[in-house]
Chain A
Amino acid sequence: MLALIPLFPLLGFLFNASFGRRVPKTVSGGVASLVMLASFAVAAMSVWQLAGLPVEERVIDQTLYTWIASGDFVLDLTLRLDPLSAVMILVITGIGSLIHIYSTAYMHDEPDSEYARYFSYLNLFAAFMLVLVLGASFLVLFVGWEGVGLCSYLLIGFWFKKKSASDAGKKAFVVNRIGDYAFILGTLLLFTHFGTLDFRQLADAVAPLPPEATFGTLSIATLLLFIGATGKSAQIPLYVWLPDAMEGPTPVSALIHAATMVTAGVYMIGRTAVVFTHAPDTMLIVAIIGALTALMAGTIGLVQNDIKRVLAYSTVSQLGFMFLAMGMGAFGAGIFHLYTHAFFKALLFLGSGAVIHALHGEQDIRNMGGLKKQLPVTYWTFLIGSLAIAGVPFLSGFFSKDEILFETFAHGHWILWGIGALTSLLTATYMFRLVFLTFHGERREGAIASGSHLHDAPPAMAFVLIVLAIGSVLAGYVGVPHALGGSNLLGAWLEPAFGIMPAAGEEEAGLELMLMAVSSTIALVGIGLAAFIWLKRREIADSMARSFSGLYNLLLNKYYVDEIYDAAIVRPTVVLSTDVLWRGFDVRVVDAAVNGAGTIVGASASMLRRLQTGSVRAYASSLFVGVVLILGYYLWR
């Protein structure tokens, strides 16, 4: 039955790839959405069946057939449903279905053949993503891993007529290949040491070993796997492709570059949790990289003006949170955040898609503003998403983010906790900057005259937004911590999948409550800060436009405060973010490294090409040189 889950989207892909051009949009879009819903139904049934099993036996294996067998090496193509993959398939098929439905409306202006092409890629992506999370061995996971990379590449470059889109696709592909390379090396290293690629057998082989005190084989292997994860999940230093990936259609950004594919790295670490826990050095590196990525992407998000880029950096930042959790050994918390993040980030992206759709492609928030009244559904759902991501109490993001911060604190990593808390503040600030600039205030000059009537999201899109908004509010309640009288259902559900659960200490409920209060305050302060800067100052600017005298002094004073504030906090942050982190590090160092590798290959290619002169005598000489080298080696060794 497990095989049906990826099979449905695959059938959808085959249908749309072969007949999509000849059928009307309703058919191609309908088929694509229906197969996802069918897949969701099967997934839900399978998970139900899984939940019916006793805790220790919660694994359903389905061996389709023996994929590769030669000599002593046998590899079955096995799909495995366990609590971890259960969460993942529900997220992928559930949110995937919603995004398919949303896309039927969003992509409606495309010609028939392009529409079918879009849905065939999207279905293919879903199929590969499901293979990725259901695969019981590294090799099956790798099939999905490569497949989603390919689909992501095709979808980023979907609007290939825009040069930036095809460039972005290329960048994503090249950066991901670097990660994949490390990933294969790590896999092979584990294979040569333990002789298996199956996750469970690997875990059984590793579990009895003591954790590595020095930087040994397991540390190297896990580090290589982690480099693979940084490529897929956009972490330092391989995160650069994700912001550019926003050139793809917005639903794609929501599905692939927010909710599912980019979390594959987090998932992979969760899947090999036993191996990672035996490599404490790598774990610390994972945590540090995660925290730094979270902070850096958060600061950059503060200064971006493209609505989707803000969300992209926010995704990078939230993924950093997840890696921080993984690095702390709090795998449950990381997956919990992955799960809640899928809801509110998909919601935010789809909301931004609705805005872009209404404004006919405008993405610059400086040209927006005042959309609250004209796009009420979009506004309210977007607001809920923003509250959730900011960590406002009792919405989904609050529970998961707090758990991560608590775990970090409880493990005694004060600095990392500090970075995490600071990032939470930034998160709240940049998200509400986005909300206020987009939806509040007055409409600013833009591509569309401010008087023109705007259409709110069409029914299919509105429906999806509302469902996701409800999800963003409620999704967190599966993991209410013990400190708040909950029972952390999700954590308990996931426990068996990770083999080892670090006991974070339930007696520290007081500490947890205190930390919750701190982070709630942080979230509210962040929102307030955003309101103060981006709402207040604009009001001042507006009233100044109406009357030049009267409250001038007061206004001037306030303005003065603003200026100090601006100079003391915002400006340095902006400078740091823009000039140092974004322009400096992002563009110069990382881009240069990526381009540099390309340049070296290109340069040596054109150099070597020149050897191929076309002269047959030169060829004969080269052959002769080869003979001399080989015989020389033999005779004068």
Chain B
Amino acid sequence: MGLQPFLVLSSALFCIGLFGVITRRNTIGILLGIELMLNSVNINLVAFSRFNGSVAGMVFTVFTISITVAEMALGLAIVILLFRVRRTAMADHLDLLKG
């Protein structure tokens, strides 16, 4: 199996995540979309690492996984805080700041 299918898979996942971010109204849904985008990159990195024959990509993936986890944890914390203050989880309701 060549490199191509992995790249296609990862870009498909990336686009699904992107679509999710732009269309979901629920903040949690948007977060999931971002998570999907970030993880699709990991597939890319691992595939490149395998086909380039260097471990750097694998190492990179380990880093991105942990960073992504931290980022999502923070994201969820902010969403929870937001829900506590604003009693809503809908992204469109957040328009105190505009103009």
Asked if the two chains touch in their complex, CB atoms less than 8 Å apart, one says: yes
- A binding-site residues for B, Cβ under 8 Å: 609-610, 612-617, 620-621, 624
Nearest opposing residue in chain A for B21, CB measure: A620
Determine if A616 and B94 form an interchain contact, defined as CB atoms under 8 angstroms apart: yes
Determine if B91 and A612 form an interchain contact, defined as CB atoms under 8 angstroms apart: no
Q: How far is the CA of A61 from the CA of B45 in the complex (A)?
A: 65
Q: How far is the CA of A621 from the CA of B22 in the complex (A)?
A: 6
Contacts of B99 in A (CB 8 A): 609-610, 612, 614
Render B3-36 as a binary contact track against A, CB cut-off 8 A, 1 for contact.
0000000000000001001110100001000000
Report how many residues on chain B are interfacial, defined by Cβ distance under 8 Å: 14
Determine if B96 and A614 form an interchain contact, defined as CB atoms under 8 angstroms apart: yes
Q: How far is the CA of A274 from the CA of B30 in the complex (A)?
A: 67
Determine if A620 and B22 form an interchain contact, defined as CB atoms under 8 angstroms apart: yes
Determine if B98 and A613 form an interchain contact, defined as CB atoms under 8 angstroms apart: yes
Contacts of A621 in B (CB 8 A): 22
Contacts A614-B94, A614-B98, A617-B22 known; list 19 others, CB within 8 Å.
A612-B98, A614-B95, A614-B96, A615-B91, A615-B94, A615-B95, A616-B30, A616-B91, A616-B94, A617-B21, A617-B23, A617-B25, A617-B30, A617-B91, A617-B92, A620-B21, A620-B30, A621-B22, A624-B18
Q: How far is the CA of A511 from the CA of B19 in the complex (A)?
A: 87
Q: How far is the CA of A620 from the CA of B27 in the complex (A)?
A: 13
Q: Could you list 26 examples of A-B contacts with CB < 8 Å? A: A609-B99, A610-B99, A612-B98, A612-B99, A613-B95, A613-B98, A614-B94, A614-B96, A614-B97, A614-B98, A614-B99, A615-B91, A615-B92, A615-B94, A616-B30, A616-B91, A616-B94, A617-B21, A617-B23, A617-B25, A617-B30, A617-B91, A617-B92, A620-B22, A620-B30, A624-B18
Q: B residues 44-99 with Cβ under 8 Å of A?
A: 91-92, 94-99
Contacts of B30 in A (CB 8 A): 616-617, 620
From A610, A613, A616, residue with most partner B Cβ within 10 Å: A616
Q: How far is the CA of A612 from the CA of B22 in the complex (A)?
A: 16
Q: How far is the CA of A615 from the CA of B27 in the complex (A)?
A: 12
Q: How far is the CA of A614 from the CA of B94 in the complex (A)?
A: 7
For the complex of A and B, the 10 pairs showing the least CB-CB separation, nearest first, are A614-B98, A614-B95, A609-B99, A616-B91, A620-B21, A615-B92, A612-B98, A612-B99, A621-B22, A617-B91
Contacts of B23 in A (CB 8 A): 617
From B18, B94, B96, B98, residue with most partner A Cβ within 10 Å: B98
Q: How far is the CA of A617 from the CA of B18 in the complex (A)?
A: 11
Give the distance to chain B from A450, nearest Cβ to Cβ, in Å.
57
Give the distance to chain A from B44, nearest Cβ to Cβ, in Å.
16
Nearest opposing residue in chain A for B18, CB measure: A624
Q: How far is the CA of A621 from the CA of B19 in the complex (A)?
A: 10
Contacts of B94 in A (CB 8 A): 614-616
Q: How far is the CA of A614 from the CA of B99 in the complex (A)?
A: 7
Q: How far is the CA of A624 from the CA of B15 in the complex (A)?
A: 11
Give the distance to chain B from A554, nearest Cβ to Cβ, in Å.
74
Q: How far is the CA of A610 from the CA of B98 in the complex (A)?
A: 8
From A609, A612, A613, A620, residue with most partner B Cβ within 10 Å: A620
Contacts of A609 in B (CB 8 A): 99
Nearest opposing residue in chain A for B95, CB measure: A614
Contacts of B97 in A (CB 8 A): 614
Nearest opposing residue in chain A for B98, CB measure: A614
Give the distance to chain A from B91, nearest Cβ to Cβ, in Å.
5
Contacts of A614 in B (CB 8 A): 94-99
Give the distance to chain B from A246, nearest Cβ to Cβ, in Å.
38
Contacts of A617 in B (CB 8 A): 21-23, 25, 30, 91-92
Q: How far is the CA of A613 from the CA of B99 in the complex (A)?
A: 6
Give the distance to chain B from A449, nearest Cβ to Cβ, in Å.
55
Contacts of B95 in A (CB 8 A): 613-615
Q: How far is the CA of A620 from the CA of B25 in the complex (A)?
A: 12
Contacts of B18 in A (CB 8 A): 624
Q: How far is the CA of A609 from the CA of B97 in the complex (A)?
A: 12
Q: How far is the CA of A610 from the CA of B23 in the complex (A)?
A: 21
Give the distance to chain B from A415, nearest Cβ to Cβ, in Å.
55
Nearest opposing residue in chain A for B96, CB measure: A614
Nearest opposing residue in chain B for A613, CB measure: B98
Give the distance to chain A from B25, nearest Cβ to Cβ, in Å.
7
Determine if B22 and A624 form an interchain contact, defined as CB atoms under 8 angstroms apart: yes
